[in-house]
Amino acid sequence: MRKVLVTGGLGYIGSHTVVELQNAGFEVVIIDNLSNSSMEVLDGIIEITGKIPLFEKIDLRQKSEVIQFFEKHQDISGIIHFAASKAVGESVENPLLYYENNLSTLIYLLQACNNYTIENFIFSSSCTVYGEPDKLPIDESAPVKKATSPYGNTKQISEEILNDSCKVSNLKSIALRYFNPIGAHDSSKIGELPLGIPQNLVPFITQTAAGLRDQLSVFGDDYPTKDGSCIRDYIHVVDLAKAHVVALERLLKNRNSNQFETFNIGTGKGSSVLEVVNAFEKITQQKLNYKIVDRRVGDVISVYADTKKANEVLGWKAENSMEDSLLSSWNWEKKVRNIK
Ligand code: NAD
Ligand code: WQD
């Protein structure tokens, strides 16, 4: 059986990807340090798939532990690397934490790829590398703009590290540039569980509807968009998870056209904040308490994916709409909060 290492496999996107990998017949080993996840996620994965992934609690910043891991597991055919810190605001306040966690972990894994002859590597990148797009929808040939946060910078530097590494070795790598992942598994057994106050729109909406937050702040209604609020491309986490399986197969079967490739992973459809709020009210048949407030510093106005390359070259397409995704987010929130 093909064995895959999934780092950050108990996190939000990682856990959904582990499910899809197991469904596709892969044997999965998870590394996670539980800094932003919990062991209960493993139970959810097992309940969904009926298969038990191997799990190693390792902090990937500990190089010696990374080496020990690969000494023990010498039959890994590919790595999907999710483990990272991801809060944009926190990265501005604590840049060294972000540079250390997001870059040292990547470097140690790539050194292991060299030393243990692992040639297939999928990386979690982000549409944040594009900054404010010059044209929409945005495709992969668009320039990478100067990052506006240390977090965003780690994604840009990571892509460069991967590209440089591919030039001098047999490494093949795909960076998937995610747009805005939302939603949860249909079973509501795994989903997004942010610690503390959610920074992202959809968890804030569902927590407000569940009564954990008083009011959603909509950051600005005076942008040059159809209704004045910002536009994003909201992608269902299960669709996103499936993109990783397709990307991994591409590398394992040597179907890649370059040793380093990038793909946009989005729906191709832009939705405004107010459209998301309205869709949520329609789906749940309840009024959401929200208020228009000032713009949030650093927000891009509008970004959504040109998905042609992902559709035609990778052979992957999003199946769920923003509404489908919102419904699954709400079902998950209700399950977590015991709401009938
Ligand atoms: P998450 O925080 O839910 O998952 C990351 C997991 O990695 C967590 O379980 C955490 O405990 C683990 N981890 C972090 N540092 C670690 C370390 N040093 N050693 C071992 N484990 C460690 O985040 P997510 O939303 O699932 O994001 C996964 C990846 O996708 C990240 O690289 C993130 O930057 C990227 N990404 C996320 C989004 C998004 O909006 N969620 C968008 C674009 C890209
Ligand atoms: C979406 C829209 C907000 C919260 C971030 C990272 C990005 C990527 C995905 C990792 C924006 C508005 C939000 C709220 C609001 N992560 N909003 N009220 O900012 O597009 O992207 O997550 O790579 O790097 O920057 O996502 O969910 O925070 O915001 O009005 O309480 O919702 O202004 O227009 P964002 P988000």
pLDDT over 80 (residue 41):
yes
Are 20 and 238 in contact by the 8 Å Cβ rule? The answer is yes
What CA dihedral angle connects 41, 235, 283 and 329, to 10 degrees? Answer: 10
Taking the C-alpha atoms of residue 191 and residue 106, their distance in angstroms, rounded to an integer, is: 25
Q: What is the pLDDT of residues 140-157, one digit of tens each?
A: 999 999 999 999 999 999
Give distance in angstroms: CA of 95 to centre of ligand 2: 19
**Polymer length in residues for the chain:** 340
| 3-class DSSP assignment, residue 322 | helix
Note the pTM of the prediction, 2 decimals. 0.98
Contacts of 272 by beta carbon, 8 Å cutoff, 6+ apart = 225, 226, 227, 229, 230, 231
Q: Which of ligand 1's atoms lies nearest the C-alpha of 83?
A: 7
Q: Which of 151, 178, 223, 304 is catalytic?
A: 151
Strand runs labelled E in the chain: 3-7, 27-32, 54-57, 76-81, 120-126, 172-178, 180-182, 216-219, 231-232, 234-236, 260-265, 271-272, 290-293
Q: Which of ligand 1's atoms lies nearest the C-alpha of 15?
A: 26
In the structure, what pLDDT confidence band is assigned to residue 1 with cuts at 50, 70 and 90? low
Give mean pLDDT, residues 281-290: 95
| 3-class DSSP assignment, residue 128 | helix
In the structure, what pLDDT confidence band is assigned to residue 337 with cuts at 50, 70 and 90? very high
Average pLDDT, the chain: 97
Please provide residue 84's backbone torsions phi and psi, each rounded to the nearest 5 degrees.
-175, 165
Structural domains of the chain, with CATH: 3-182+235-265 (3.40.50.720)
pLDDT over 70 (residue 202):
yes
Give distance in angstroms: CA of 158 to centre of ligand 1: 14
| 3-class DSSP assignment, residue 291 | strand
Find out whether the beta carbon of 199 lies less than 6 Å from any atom of ligand 2: yes
Contacts of 294 by beta carbon, 8 Å cutoff, 6+ apart = 219, 220
Give distance in angstroms: CA of 326 to centre of ligand 1: 21
- According to DSSP, residue 180 is labeled E
DSSP letter for each residue of 201-232: HHHHHHHHHTTSSS-EEEE-S-SSSSSSS-EE
Ligand approaching nearest to the C-alpha of 105: 1
Q: Is the peptide bond before 203 cis (omega within 30 degrees of 0)?
A: no
Q: Which of ligand 1's atoms lies nearest the C-alpha of 178?
A: 43
Give mean pLDDT, residues 45-68: 98
151 is catalytic: yes
Taking the C-alpha atoms of residue 334 and residue 340, their distance in angstroms, rounded to an integer, is: 7
pLDDT over 90 (residue 108):
yes
Give distance in angstroms: CA of 180 to centre of ligand 2: 8
Are 144 and 156 in contact by the 8 Å Cβ rule? The answer is yes
Ligand 1 lining (C-beta closer than 6 Å): 8, 10-14, 31-37, 59-61, 82-84, 86, 101, 105, 124, 126, 178, 181
CA 141 to chain centre: 21
In the structure, what pLDDT confidence band is assigned to residue 218 with cuts at 50, 70 and 90? very high
Taking the C-alpha atoms of residue 121 and residue 166, their distance in angstroms, rounded to an integer, is: 10
Q: What is the pLDDT of residues 175-190, one digit of tens each?
A: 999 999 999 999 999 9
